[in-house]
Structure 1
C-alpha cells in the first residue's frame, strides 16, 4: 500500500492552494523558507506537499534527512509515475524530491516543464497546500513554476544583489508570464523594521517602472537556532518551536491560512488544473 493511501478522504480532489517560493538570487534562503513554511502549515492542520523544482541541484530531501527511492529524474526517464516519488516527511509532510547532480535535468525543454505541471492534475492525493521550492535565477523552469502557482512568495535579503535580482525576476515574471501580484518575504533581517525597509526599497523601484502589485508578507529574523536546525536536518519550527524564526514562520503560515481559496483556473499553465475546473463547477452549481 502507498504510504499515503490511508490519508485519502472523500474530498481528495479539492483544489489545493499552490504557492511558489522564489527569490532570483541564490543564497537568500528559499529552500529553508519553503521547508519551514511547509512544516508550519502541517502543524496548523493543513495537508501539505513540498515540491522541489531545483531539478539539477535538489536539496529539500537532504535538508529534511530523507532518503527517496525515486525522484523527478525517474519520472522523466519513465522509471516511475509522479505519485511514486511522493515520500512522507516529518509529521506527515508530503515531499516530492528532485534530483541532485543530474545535469540533463537542468536542460529540460519548456514543454517538459509544462508537462510536469500538468502531471499534477492526475495526482489523486488529498491536499490543502503545495509549496513549490524554485531554484535561483530566471530560467524557463523558474518562470513556468511561478506562473503555474496561484501565489508567488519572493524571498529577499538586505543585500544590493538580492534586491537587484529580485527586481529582475519580478520584471521577467510580469513581462513574459503575466504574473503581476507577488508577496514579498524579507529574510535574515536583524529586526522587523529592517524587514519592512527591505520591502520598501524593492517596492519603490518596482512601482516606478513596473505594473506589479507587491504585498509585504513579513520578515524572518536572523536566528542562530535556524542554523542549528539546518545542521540537524530539521525544520526550525519543529526543532526549536519557540525560536524567533519559528514564531515568524508560524505567523506567515497563519496569514497564508487566511488567503481566499482558489476559485478556478486562470486560462494558462497551472498546477492541478482539473481540480480547479471541478472547484469552479462546484462554485457555479
Structure 2
C-alpha cells in the first residue's frame, strides 16, 4: 500500500442545481481520458443519481454493495465513454457516518486497491450544501465550483465557499463559468463572486475559464450521450477540452496524503464529524 501513487481528487460542486455541473463532470472526465489519463468518475449525488441517466447506463451494482461487503469496487465500476470508469451513486453512502470498523477498513482497502489504476478521481457532488456534499469537498484535493448566469448561482456558490472556508478552513477554489453567451460574461460572473469573497473571506479563487452556451448540450442530454461523443467539435466541447488541459496541469498533491486511501479516510472522518 505504501507504494501507491498520489491521485488528483477533484470535487465538482456548484452550491445549487441547474448549473450544469454533472455535464461538466462527465465531459471533463472524458476530455482528461483523451489526454491519456486514467479517470474514475464518482457519482456522489446520492439523492438524484444522474450520471448513469446522462449516459444511458444501467448500473447493476453501486457503492452500497461495496459497503455491504457484497461486491468489490472493481465489480461495481462501469466503463463509460472514452474509457472512463464510473462509480454509480448509492443512497447507501448516507450510511457512511455509521460504518462499522470492518466496513470502514473495507472501504479504505477497496479504494487503495484502485489507486494503482487511476490518475484522476472526479467527484460529481449533489446540488446544495448538504453534509454529504461538504464531506466529499473537504476530502478532495481540488474544488471546482461551477457558476452560471442566474442570480442565485453566485449567491449559492458564495454560500458554499463561505461555509467551507469558515467551518473547515478551505482556502483555495477553482471557478468555471458555464453556459456563457460571451467570454466577457464569464469574467463578469467570476469578478462578482471574487469581489464578495475577497471582502468577507480568507480565500483564493482562480478563474479557470468558461464553457459557452451550446444547443448541442441539450441535444446530447436528450440522446443520453456525452457531449464530447455527440458533438466533439462544437464550441462547448472545445472549451471542455481546454479546461481539461488546465486541470491536467494542476500540481499533484504531495504524498503521502495525496493517496486514494487517505481520500477515503478524510471522507469517512468528515462524514462522522457531520453526523
Same-fold call, TM cutoff 0.5 = yes
| Structure 2: gaps (5+ residues) | 265-275
Residue 20 of structure 2 is aligned to residue 29 of structure 1: yes
| Structure 1: gaps (5+ residues) | 1-11, 276-285
Give 1:241 deviation, angstroms. 1.1
Give 1:21 deviation, angstroms. 0.2
C-alpha distance after superposition, 1:214-266 (max 9, x if no partner): 00011111100111111121211121111000010000000111111221245
Residue 261 of structure 2 is aligned to residue 272 of structure 1: yes
Contact 2:46 2:94 in 1 (8 A): no
> Which residue of structure 1 lines up, in the alignment, with residue 95 of structure 2?
108
Partners in 1 of 2:130 and 2:49 — Cα distance?
A: 16
Of 136, 156, 178, which aligns to 2:147? Answer: 156
Change in 2 beyond 3 A, CA 1:203/1:75: same
Deviating above 3 A after TM superposition, structure 1's stretches of 4 or more consecutive aligned residues are 105-112, 114-119
Contact 1:36 1:236 in 2 (8 A): yes
Structure with more relative contact order (C-alpha pairs < 8 Å, separation 6 or more)? 2
Contact 1:117 1:145 in 2 (8 A): no
Give 1:204 deviation, angstroms. 0.4
Give 1:111 deviation, angstroms. 5.5
Question: Partner of 1:78: helix, strand, or coil?
Answer: coil
Contact 1:22 1:153 in 2 (8 A): yes
TM-score by length of 2: 0.86
> Which residue of structure 2 lines up, in the alignment, with residue 261 of structure 1?
252
Return 12-21 or 246-255, whichever deviates more: 12-21
Partners in 1 of 2:94 and 2:7 — Cα distance?
A: 29
Residue 171 of structure 2 is aligned to residue 180 of structure 1: yes
C-alpha distance after superposition, 1:24-59 (max 9, x if no partner): 101111100100100111111111110001122101
> Which residue of structure 1 lines up, in the alignment, with residue 209 of structure 2?
218
Give 1:16 deviation, angstroms. 1.6
- Give the superposed CA RMSD: 2.4
Give 1:107 deviation, angstroms. 4.6
Equivalent pairs counted in the alignment come to 258
